[in-house]
Amino acid sequence: MALPAARAKFRSPLFGVSIFEEISYLLCALGDGHLLNFVLNTSNGELTDRKKVSLGTQPIALRTFSSKNATHVFAASDRPTVIYSSNKKLLYSNVNLKEVSYMCPFNSAAFPDSLAIAKEGELTIGTIDDIQKLHIRSIPLGEHARRICHQEQTRTFAICSLKYNQSSVEDSEMHFIRLLDDQTFEFISTYPLDQFECGCSILSCSFSDDSNVYYCVGTAYVMPEENEPTKGRILVFAVEDGKLQLIAEKETKGAVYSLNAFNGKLLAAINQKIQLYKWMLRDDGSRELQSECGHHGHILALYVQTRGDFIVVGDLMKSISLLIYKHEEGAIEERARDYNANWMSAVEILDDDIYLGAENNFNLFTVRKNSEGATDEERGRLEVVGEYHLGEFVNRFRHGSLVMRLPDSDVGQIPTVIFGTVNGVIGVIASLPHEQYAFLEMLQTNLRKIIKGVGGLSHEQWRSFYNEKKTVDAKNFLDGDLIESFLDLSRNRMEEISKAMNVPVDELMKRVEELTRLH
C-alpha cells in the first residue's frame, strides 16, 4: 500500500535569516500571528536574545525588501508590519493598510523601487519613503478639529469641528459633528450644531441594558454677553447605515466639559458640577438620559477620569479632587482632595492610588490617596508624591503606547501614558518599577555631571517644579531624554559613567536601549 504523493500547492516564507546593520537575525513567523526573532551567531549557529511579538491573529508571510540602501522585512498578515533596524535595535512599524496576503518588491521604469501588495480582490503598487514615518499620515480637513473619538464597532471617527465663515460681513463660526470613515478618512455624515453652540467633549460608549454603541457629545452655548456658558446639551448619536442619527438629547445648565462612561451610565462635568445620568427606556420604546445624582463644590470641573467607583476631577483652580460613587445611596461624595491651588490642564489615573496632573505653569505632578491615614483629615488629603517641570502645556493624557510591546521584554510590562501638548508635542510617561527607577536615577545624576545644558543652564534647576507660590526640586520623575542621551556619548564618556556607577558599559547600554523601546 502506498500513500498518494503530496505536492505543494502554495509555499509561504515563514522564517528566514536577515541582516540588519551588520547583525544577523533569525525571524520565525507562527500561525497565530506571533513573530519570534533571535540574534544569530553565524560562526557557530548559536541563537540568543529571543524576543516574541504579536503582529496580529493570522499567519504571517515574511518578505525582504530594500529602502534607501537598508534592509527591511515586510510581515504580511491581518495587521501588516514593516520590521527594520535603528541604532542596532529591531523596531516594528504598522502599515496603513488592511489585511495583506502577500508582498514582493516591484521595480520598473514607471514604478521604481516600489512594492506590490496583494490583498483580497485588490493589488496595490506603492512606495515606502520613510520607514520611521509609516504610521504618520496627514488628513486635510479644511476646518479645525477640536475633539476626536474612535468607534471600533462602526469603523468610524467622530470629530467636533469648527469652520470659520468668512463670506459674511462679520467673520462667524460654524460648529459641526462630523463622522469619518476610519480607513478613507472621508466625511460620511454631518450634524450641524446650533448658532453659538460648540462641541466641548465627545465619547464612544454603551449603556446598561442596551447592547448598542453610541457617540455622546457634550456642547456649550457660548453667548457673546456671557462670561461662562449657562446652557449646553448632551447629544446621543447612533451610527446607522453610515449616518449619524440623533437618538436623545439632554439640556444642561452649563458647558459639558467632560464625558465619561461610568458603570453603564454617563458621567458629565457641567460647569461647577459632576452629574451622573442613567439611560432610561420610555414607554414608547425611545431612550432618554435621566439625572441620577451629582456633586457640587468645584470652580469649574474641566477634566474627569474614572476607575471603578472612583472619580478624579481636575478643576480650573482647585487642583485634583477624588470623588466616590455610592451605589446603595445613589450619591457621589468627596473622598479626598489636593489643597494646593493648581490650575489644571489635564488629569489621568495611573493606578488605584496614584493620580497624574498637569497644570498651567507647564508642570506635572502626582498625588496619592492616603487610605491608611489615621484620621479623617489625613484620609481626606491627597498627598503630593511627585513634581516635575515639563516645559510644555499638556492638554490631554491617554493610556496607551505608540509602539508595539514585546511580551518577552521587561519593558513590555511597564504601563505607559501618552500626552499631547498645545505645541504639538507627543510624549510618553512610564510608571517604572522601584528597582529600575533607582538605577536610572543614579544614571541621571551621573549624566548631569557630564552633559551640560545649552548656555550652561542647570538641568536640575530646569526640571524643578515652579509656579508663583513655590519652587521645589523635581522628585519621583526622571528625564527620559537626558537618560537616553547616554547612547550618544563617546566611549570615553560612557566608561567614565560606568566607572562611577560600577556597572559595565554594555550593561548600561542594554538598560537604556530597553528604555527606548517604550516609545
- Could you report the per-residue pLDDT of 225-242, keeping only the tens digit for each? 999 999 999 999 999 999
Cell matching residue 299:
470652580
Residue 1, pLDDT score: 45
Please state the rounded mean pLDDT for residues 20-25. 84
pLDDT higher than threshold 80 for residue 182: yes
Please state the rounded mean pLDDT for residues 365-394. 93
Please state the rounded mean pLDDT for residues 123-138. 68
DSSP 120-187: TTEEEEE--S-GGGTT------SSEEEEEEEETTTTEEEEEEEEEE-SSSS-EEEEEEEEEETTT--E
The structural domains of the chain, with segments of one domain joined by +, span 15-133, 431-516
User: CB 83: neighbour CB atoms within 10 A?
Assistant: 24
Strands 89-94, 102-106: pairing kind: unpaired
108-113: which pairs have CB atoms within 8 A and are 24 or more residues apart? Answer: 113/66, 113/67
Task: Please say whether the beta carbons of 179 and 189 come within 8 A.
Answer: yes
pLDDT higher than threshold 50 for residue 254: yes
Residue 403, pLDDT score: 74
Residues in contact with 119: Cβ distance below 8 Å, sequence separation at least 6, in sequence order? 97, 98, 99, 100, 101
Please state the rounded mean pLDDT for residues 438-461. 90
User: Which of the four pLDDT bands, split at 50, 70 and 90, describes residue 17?
Assistant: confident
Q: What's the pLDDT tens digit per position in 416-443?
A: 999 999 999 999 999 999 999 999 999 9
**Greatest CA separation for the chain:** 95
Distance CA 437, CA 125 (A): 47
User: Which of the four pLDDT bands, split at 50, 70 and 90, describes residue 3?
Assistant: very low
Q: Choose between 66 and 291: higher pLDDT.
A: 291
Q: What's the pLDDT tens digit per position in 67-93?
A: 777 788 998 888 888 888 877 778 887
When mean pLDDT is compared across 8-12, 152-156, 338-342, 420-424, the lowest value belongs to 8-12
pLDDT higher than threshold 50 for residue 474: yes
Residue 16, pLDDT score: 67
CATH (residue range 431-516): 1.10.150.910
pLDDT higher than threshold 50 for residue 10: no
Residue 8, pLDDT score: 45
Q: Choose between 519 and 199: higher pLDDT.
A: 199
Q: What's the pLDDT tens digit per position in 290-330?
A: 999 999 989 999 999 999 999 999 999 999 999 999 999 99
Distance CA 306, CA 303 (A): 10
Residue 131, pLDDT score: 55
Residue 6, pLDDT score: 46
Task: Please say whether the beta carbons of 80 and 96 come within 8 A.
Answer: no
Task: Please say whether the beta carbons of 336 and 369 come within 8 A.
Answer: yes
Please state the rounded mean pLDDT for residues 459-479. 95
User: Which of the four pLDDT bands, split at 50, 70 and 90, describes residue 130?
Assistant: low
CATH class of the domain defined by 15-133: mainly beta
pLDDT higher than threshold 50 for residue 354: yes
Residue 294, pLDDT score: 96
Please state the rounded mean pLDDT for residues 441-458. 89
Residue 454, pLDDT score: 76
When mean pLDDT is compared across 160-174, 180-194, 374-388, 497-511, the lowest value belongs to 160-174
Phi and psi at 484, nearest 5°, equal -70, -20
Distance CA 89, CA 69 (A): 17
User: Which of the four pLDDT bands, split at 50, 70 and 90, describes residue 463?
Assistant: very high
Consecutive H or E run containing 350:
none
pLDDT higher than threshold 90 for residue 214: yes
Strands 394-399, 156-165: pairing kind: unpaired
Residue 518, pLDDT score: 82
Distance CA 342, CA 467 (A): 9
The average confidence (pLDDT) of the chain is 89
Residues in contact with 48: Cβ distance below 8 Å, sequence separation at least 6, in sequence order? 38, 39, 41
DSSP, collapsed to helix, strand or coil, labels residue 23 as strand
With cell 516635575, the residue in question is 388
Q: Choose between 318 and 120: higher pLDDT.
A: 318
Residue 22, pLDDT score: 82
Residue 201, pLDDT score: 98
User: CB 106: neighbour CB atoms within 10 A?
Assistant: 16
Cell matching residue 302:
474641566
Distance CA 131, CA 133 (A): 5
Q: pTM for this one?
A: 0.81
User: Which of the four pLDDT bands, split at 50, 70 and 90, describes residue 409?
Assistant: low
pLDDT higher than threshold 70 for residue 146: yes
